[in-house]
Amino acid sequence: MHIRFYANMRTTVGRASLEITDGVASFRELLALLVDKYPETAFHLMDAKGNLRPDVPVYVDGRNPRLTPLGIDTPLQPDSTVSFFSPISSGKINVEVLRD
């Protein structure tokens, strides 16, 4: 599985990409793995309740997992590509959601 990091996520993880071969079955499991392996990512990815921050753009194979029927429980395949972006990396601030 290919994991790509952009903007603040790249800085936090210390690399532009990762290859995961641990048999991660879902996007939720990938989040847990990243937070475990790179604890600093929790601030960027998770809110105070431990949920994925709604203002962090993430894509699984080019699609936003939040918009799929399974949400962050979206299954991942060994050849999936998951991308993590900064909330402002698209060139505009996401004004739909404000962080606490």
Domain assignment present for residue 71? The answer is: yes
More confident residue, 62 or 89: 62
pLDDT tens-digit profile of 17-76? Answer: 999 987 899 999 999 999 999 999 998 888 888 888 888 889 999 999 988 899 889 999
Does residue 16 carry a pLDDT above 60?
A: yes
Domain assignment present for residue 95? The answer is: no
- Number of domains the chain is built from: 1
Quote the distance between the C-alpha of residue 35 and its chain's center. 10
Domain assignment present for residue 96? The answer is: no
Residues 6+ apart with CB under 8 A from 59: 65, 82, 83, 85
Domain assignment present for residue 98? The answer is: no
This prediction has a pTM of 0.81
Domain assignment present for residue 99? The answer is: no
CATH number of the domain enclosing 55: 3.10.20.30
- Structural domain of residue 76, as residue ranges? 2-84
